[in-house]
Structure 1
Protein backbone atom coordinates (compact mmCIF):
# COMPACT_ATOMS: atom_id res chain seq x y z
CA UNK A 1 0.00 0.00 0.00
CA UNK A 2 1.33 3.42 -0.98
CA UNK A 3 1.21 6.10 1.70
CA UNK A 4 -0.41 9.36 0.69
CA UNK A 5 1.85 12.37 1.05
CA UNK A 6 -1.02 14.65 2.14
CA UNK A 7 1.21 17.66 2.67
CA UNK A 8 2.63 17.34 -0.84
CA UNK A 9 -0.85 16.99 -2.33
CA UNK A 10 -2.08 20.05 -0.43
CA UNK A 11 1.01 21.98 -1.54
CA UNK A 12 0.18 21.20 -5.18
CA UNK A 13 -3.56 21.87 -5.14
CA UNK A 14 -3.55 25.53 -4.10
CA UNK A 15 -0.81 26.69 -6.51
CA UNK A 16 -2.39 24.61 -9.29
CA UNK A 17 -5.70 26.39 -8.78
CA UNK A 18 -4.06 29.84 -8.64
CA UNK A 19 -2.01 29.10 -11.76
CA UNK A 20 -5.07 27.95 -13.69
CA UNK A 21 -7.09 30.94 -12.52
CA UNK A 22 -4.35 33.37 -13.56
CA UNK A 23 -3.82 31.70 -16.92
CA UNK A 24 -7.57 31.70 -17.63
CA UNK A 25 -7.88 35.36 -16.69
CA UNK A 26 -4.99 36.26 -18.97
CA UNK A 27 -6.10 34.10 -21.91
CA UNK A 28 -9.71 35.32 -21.85
CA UNK A 29 -8.99 38.87 -20.58
CA UNK A 30 -11.23 38.22 -17.58
CA UNK A 31 -11.47 40.62 -14.67
CA UNK A 32 -10.07 39.65 -11.31
CA UNK A 33 -12.92 38.23 -9.29
CA UNK A 34 -12.05 36.96 -5.81
CA UNK A 35 -12.47 33.22 -5.23
CA UNK A 36 -15.26 33.78 -2.70
CA UNK A 37 -17.26 35.73 -5.29
CA UNK A 38 -16.68 32.99 -7.85
CA UNK A 39 -18.06 30.47 -5.36
CA UNK A 40 -21.19 32.58 -4.93
CA UNK A 41 -21.67 32.70 -8.71
CA UNK A 42 -21.12 28.94 -8.85
CA UNK A 43 -23.83 28.53 -6.19
CA UNK A 44 -26.28 30.53 -8.29
CA UNK A 45 -26.64 28.76 -11.65
CA UNK A 46 -28.82 30.29 -14.33
CA UNK A 47 -32.51 30.61 -13.39
CA UNK A 48 -31.92 30.02 -9.66
CA UNK A 49 -32.07 32.31 -6.68
CA UNK A 50 -31.01 31.96 -3.09
CA UNK A 51 -31.21 33.97 0.07
CA UNK A 52 -28.04 35.38 1.60
CA UNK A 53 -28.55 33.00 4.54
CA UNK A 54 -28.86 30.00 2.22
CA UNK A 55 -25.68 31.03 0.41
CA UNK A 56 -23.83 31.45 3.70
CA UNK A 57 -24.87 27.96 4.82
CA UNK A 58 -24.08 26.33 1.49
CA UNK A 59 -20.64 27.94 1.28
CA UNK A 60 -19.72 27.66 4.94
CA UNK A 61 -19.36 31.43 5.33
CA UNK A 62 -20.77 33.79 7.93
CA UNK A 63 -23.81 35.88 7.03
CA UNK A 64 -21.89 39.17 7.44
CA UNK A 65 -19.17 37.87 5.09
CA UNK A 66 -21.76 36.91 2.48
CA UNK A 67 -23.48 40.28 2.90
CA UNK A 68 -20.18 42.10 2.28
CA UNK A 69 -19.43 39.90 -0.74
CA UNK A 70 -22.90 40.51 -2.18
CA UNK A 71 -22.56 44.28 -1.71
CA UNK A 72 -19.29 44.29 -3.68
CA UNK A 73 -20.69 41.92 -6.31
CA UNK A 74 -23.83 44.04 -6.73
CA UNK A 75 -21.67 47.15 -7.20
CA UNK A 76 -19.77 45.29 -9.96
CA UNK A 77 -22.95 44.08 -11.68
CA UNK A 78 -22.43 40.42 -10.79
CA UNK A 79 -25.54 39.81 -8.67
CA UNK A 80 -28.92 41.37 -8.12
CA UNK A 81 -30.77 41.38 -4.82
CA UNK A 82 -34.54 41.63 -5.04
CA UNK A 83 -37.54 41.04 -2.82
CA UNK A 84 -38.55 37.39 -2.63
CA UNK A 85 -41.83 36.82 -4.51
CA UNK A 86 -44.66 36.38 -2.04
CA UNK A 87 -42.59 37.67 0.90
CA UNK A 88 -41.22 41.15 0.36
CA UNK A 89 -39.59 41.11 3.82
CA UNK A 90 -36.95 38.69 2.53
CA UNK A 91 -34.46 39.14 -0.25
CA UNK A 92 -33.23 36.70 -2.86
CA UNK A 93 -30.04 36.86 -4.87
CA UNK A 94 -29.54 35.98 -8.52
CA UNK A 95 -26.41 36.00 -10.66
CA UNK A 96 -26.59 38.52 -13.49
CA UNK A 97 -26.14 37.70 -17.15
CA UNK A 98 -22.72 39.40 -16.90
CA UNK A 99 -21.65 37.07 -14.06
CA UNK A 100 -22.93 33.96 -15.82
CA UNK A 101 -21.13 34.96 -19.03
CA UNK A 102 -17.84 35.53 -17.17
CA UNK A 103 -18.25 32.21 -15.37
CA UNK A 104 -18.98 30.32 -18.63
CA UNK A 105 -15.96 31.93 -20.30
CA UNK A 106 -13.76 31.05 -17.32
CA UNK A 107 -14.93 27.41 -17.35
CA UNK A 108 -14.45 27.10 -21.11
CA UNK A 109 -10.96 28.59 -21.19
CA UNK A 110 -9.92 26.66 -18.06
CA UNK A 111 -10.93 23.41 -19.72
CA UNK A 112 -9.05 24.38 -22.88
CA UNK A 113 -5.92 25.26 -20.89
CA UNK A 114 -5.99 22.01 -18.91
CA UNK A 115 -6.51 20.01 -22.13
CA UNK A 116 -3.58 21.76 -23.82
CA UNK A 117 -1.33 21.22 -20.80
CA UNK A 118 -2.39 17.57 -20.54
CA UNK A 119 -1.45 17.10 -24.20
CA UNK A 120 2.17 17.80 -23.20
CA UNK A 121 2.13 14.84 -20.79
CA UNK A 122 2.78 11.21 -21.55
CA UNK A 123 -0.07 8.81 -22.25
CA UNK A 124 0.59 7.19 -18.88
CA UNK A 125 0.37 10.56 -17.10
CA UNK A 126 -2.91 11.41 -18.87
CA UNK A 127 -4.31 8.00 -17.91
CA UNK A 128 -3.26 8.56 -14.30
CA UNK A 129 -4.99 11.97 -14.28
CA UNK A 130 -8.15 10.48 -15.75
CA UNK A 131 -8.13 7.74 -13.12
CA UNK A 132 -7.52 10.27 -10.34
CA UNK A 133 -10.49 12.50 -11.22
CA UNK A 134 -13.16 10.50 -9.36
CA UNK A 135 -10.88 10.25 -6.32
CA UNK A 136 -10.18 14.00 -6.38
CA UNK A 137 -13.92 14.69 -6.59
CA UNK A 138 -14.54 12.46 -3.56
CA UNK A 139 -11.66 14.16 -1.72
CA UNK A 140 -13.20 17.58 -2.50
CA UNK A 141 -16.56 16.37 -1.18
CA UNK A 142 -14.96 14.90 1.95
CA UNK A 143 -13.19 18.19 2.64
CA UNK A 144 -16.44 20.14 2.16
CA UNK A 145 -18.37 18.12 4.75
CA UNK A 146 -16.96 20.00 7.79
CA UNK A 147 -17.85 23.31 6.10
CA UNK A 148 -21.49 22.32 5.84
CA UNK A 149 -21.81 20.78 9.30
CA UNK A 150 -22.98 23.26 11.98
Structure 2
Protein backbone atom coordinates (compact mmCIF):
# COMPACT_ATOMS: atom_id res chain seq x y z
CA UNK A 1 0.00 0.00 0.00
CA UNK A 2 1.47 3.39 -1.00
CA UNK A 3 2.22 5.85 1.79
CA UNK A 4 -0.44 8.43 2.59
CA UNK A 5 0.60 11.87 1.36
CA UNK A 6 1.27 14.48 4.00
CA UNK A 7 -0.32 17.93 4.08
CA UNK A 8 3.00 19.26 2.78
CA UNK A 9 2.98 16.76 -0.13
CA UNK A 10 -0.55 17.81 -1.08
CA UNK A 11 0.24 21.53 -0.79
CA UNK A 12 3.36 21.01 -2.92
CA UNK A 13 1.23 19.24 -5.55
CA UNK A 14 -1.27 22.13 -5.59
CA UNK A 15 1.53 24.67 -5.94
CA UNK A 16 3.09 22.77 -8.84
CA UNK A 17 -0.28 22.38 -10.60
CA UNK A 18 -0.77 26.16 -10.37
CA UNK A 19 2.74 26.83 -11.69
CA UNK A 20 2.25 24.54 -14.69
CA UNK A 21 -1.20 26.05 -15.35
CA UNK A 22 0.25 29.57 -15.27
CA UNK A 23 2.92 28.56 -17.75
CA UNK A 24 0.39 26.97 -20.11
CA UNK A 25 -1.79 30.09 -19.91
CA UNK A 26 1.10 32.49 -20.50
CA UNK A 27 1.26 34.45 -23.76
CA UNK A 28 4.23 32.38 -24.97
CA UNK A 29 2.13 29.21 -24.68
CA UNK A 30 -0.90 30.56 -26.58
CA UNK A 31 -1.64 29.14 -30.00
CA UNK A 32 -1.62 31.82 -32.68
CA UNK A 33 -5.03 33.34 -33.27
CA UNK A 34 -6.68 31.74 -30.24
CA UNK A 35 -8.41 34.45 -28.20
CA UNK A 36 -7.32 34.98 -24.63
CA UNK A 37 -10.01 33.84 -22.22
CA UNK A 38 -10.62 34.63 -18.59
CA UNK A 39 -10.63 31.69 -16.17
CA UNK A 40 -14.43 31.90 -16.06
CA UNK A 41 -14.70 31.87 -19.87
CA UNK A 42 -12.32 28.91 -19.94
CA UNK A 43 -14.46 26.98 -17.45
CA UNK A 44 -17.62 27.62 -19.49
CA UNK A 45 -16.09 26.74 -22.87
CA UNK A 46 -14.49 23.58 -21.41
CA UNK A 47 -17.84 22.48 -20.06
CA UNK A 48 -19.66 23.23 -23.31
CA UNK A 49 -16.98 21.44 -25.32
CA UNK A 50 -17.81 18.28 -23.39
CA UNK A 51 -21.56 18.99 -23.11
CA UNK A 52 -22.77 20.68 -26.31
CA UNK A 53 -26.45 21.56 -26.14
CA UNK A 54 -26.42 22.17 -22.39
CA UNK A 55 -28.89 24.62 -20.91
CA UNK A 56 -27.63 27.80 -19.27
CA UNK A 57 -28.84 26.40 -15.92
CA UNK A 58 -26.80 23.23 -16.39
CA UNK A 59 -23.70 25.27 -17.27
CA UNK A 60 -24.16 27.52 -14.24
CA UNK A 61 -24.61 24.53 -11.94
CA UNK A 62 -21.65 22.65 -13.39
CA UNK A 63 -19.27 25.61 -13.25
CA UNK A 64 -20.49 27.04 -9.94
CA UNK A 65 -21.37 30.38 -11.53
CA UNK A 66 -24.20 32.67 -10.53
CA UNK A 67 -26.72 33.12 -13.35
CA UNK A 68 -25.82 36.81 -13.75
CA UNK A 69 -22.11 36.02 -14.04
CA UNK A 70 -22.86 33.26 -16.54
CA UNK A 71 -24.92 35.67 -18.61
CA UNK A 72 -22.03 38.15 -18.76
CA UNK A 73 -19.59 35.36 -19.64
CA UNK A 74 -21.85 34.02 -22.39
CA UNK A 75 -22.17 37.48 -23.96
CA UNK A 76 -18.38 37.73 -24.01
CA UNK A 77 -17.94 34.24 -25.51
CA UNK A 78 -20.61 34.99 -28.12
CA UNK A 79 -18.80 38.22 -28.97
CA UNK A 80 -15.60 36.25 -29.50
CA UNK A 81 -17.48 33.85 -31.79
CA UNK A 82 -17.02 30.85 -29.49
CA UNK A 83 -20.55 30.13 -28.23
CA UNK A 84 -23.97 30.23 -29.84
CA UNK A 85 -27.39 30.16 -28.22
CA UNK A 86 -30.11 28.26 -30.03
CA UNK A 87 -33.54 26.98 -29.17
CA UNK A 88 -33.95 23.41 -28.06
CA UNK A 89 -35.36 21.40 -30.96
CA UNK A 90 -37.84 19.66 -28.62
CA UNK A 91 -38.91 22.72 -26.62
CA UNK A 92 -38.65 25.92 -28.66
CA UNK A 93 -38.98 28.00 -25.47
CA UNK A 94 -35.79 26.53 -24.01
CA UNK A 95 -32.33 27.84 -24.91
CA UNK A 96 -29.32 25.57 -25.37
CA UNK A 97 -25.67 26.50 -25.68
CA UNK A 98 -23.19 25.10 -28.15
CA UNK A 99 -19.54 25.81 -28.83
CA UNK A 100 -19.02 27.08 -32.37
CA UNK A 101 -16.83 25.46 -35.00
CA UNK A 102 -14.35 28.26 -34.25
CA UNK A 103 -14.27 27.19 -30.59
CA UNK A 104 -13.62 23.57 -31.57
CA UNK A 105 -10.80 24.68 -33.87
CA UNK A 106 -9.30 26.95 -31.18
CA UNK A 107 -9.46 24.17 -28.59
CA UNK A 108 -7.77 21.71 -30.96
CA UNK A 109 -4.97 24.20 -31.76
CA UNK A 110 -4.50 25.08 -28.10
CA UNK A 111 -4.35 21.41 -27.07
CA UNK A 112 -1.77 20.76 -29.81
CA UNK A 113 0.28 23.72 -28.54
CA UNK A 114 0.09 22.41 -24.97
CA UNK A 115 1.07 18.90 -26.05
CA UNK A 116 4.06 20.26 -27.97
CA UNK A 117 5.11 22.44 -25.02
CA UNK A 118 4.87 19.58 -22.52
CA UNK A 119 6.57 17.10 -24.86
CA UNK A 120 9.43 19.55 -25.34
CA UNK A 121 9.78 20.10 -21.61
CA UNK A 122 9.62 16.40 -20.75
CA UNK A 123 11.72 15.04 -23.60
CA UNK A 124 12.61 11.43 -22.81
CA UNK A 125 11.33 11.85 -19.24
CA UNK A 126 7.61 11.42 -20.10
CA UNK A 127 7.01 8.34 -17.98
CA UNK A 128 4.05 8.66 -15.65
CA UNK A 129 2.03 11.07 -17.81
CA UNK A 130 -0.97 8.72 -17.96
CA UNK A 131 -0.89 8.22 -14.19
CA UNK A 132 -0.55 11.95 -13.52
CA UNK A 133 -3.44 12.65 -15.90
CA UNK A 134 -5.62 10.07 -14.16
CA UNK A 135 -4.80 11.55 -10.75
CA UNK A 136 -5.58 15.10 -11.86
CA UNK A 137 -8.82 13.94 -13.51
CA UNK A 138 -9.93 12.32 -10.24
CA UNK A 139 -9.04 15.48 -8.35
CA UNK A 140 -10.99 17.68 -10.74
CA UNK A 141 -14.08 15.45 -10.55
CA UNK A 142 -13.96 15.27 -6.76
CA UNK A 143 -13.29 18.95 -6.19
CA UNK A 144 -16.26 19.93 -8.44
CA UNK A 145 -18.54 21.74 -8.90
CA UNK A 146 -18.20 20.89 -12.60
CA UNK A 147 -20.26 17.84 -13.58
- When the two structures are superposed, what TM-score results if normalisation uses the length of structure 2? 0.81
Residue 29 (structure 2) aligns with: 24
Answering whether residue 37 of structure 2 is matched by residue 33 of structure 1, we say yes
Q: How many aligned residue pairs are there?
A: 142
Residue 142 (structure 1) aligns with: 142
CA RMSD of aligned residues (A): 2.4
SS in 2 for 1:89: coil
Structure 2: distance between partners of 1:34 and 1:99: 15
SS in 2 for 1:71: helix
SS in 1 for 2:92: strand
Residue 60 (structure 1) aligns with: 64
Q: What does the per-residue CA deviation read over 1:52-104, in whole Å, with 9 as the maximum and x for residues that have no partner?
A: 10111122222222111101111221111122223222211111111111111
Residue 97 (structure 2) aligns with: 93
Structure 2: distance between partners of 1:142 and 1:47: 18
User: Which structure has more helix as a fraction of its residues?
Assistant: 1
Q: What does the per-residue CA deviation read over 1:100-119, in whole Å, with 9 as the maximum and x for residues that have no partner?
A: 11111111111111111111
Deviation >4 Å, runs of 4+: none
Answering whether residue 87 of structure 2 is matched by residue 83 of structure 1, we say yes
Preserved CA contact (<8 Å) 2:35 2:80: no
Preserved CA contact (<8 Å) 1:21 1:110: no
Structure 2 segments unaligned to the other structure (5+ residues): none
Of 10, 15, 20, the match for 1:6: 10
SS in 1 for 2:127: helix
Preserved CA contact (<8 Å) 2:60 2:67: yes
Residue 115 (structure 1) aligns with: 119
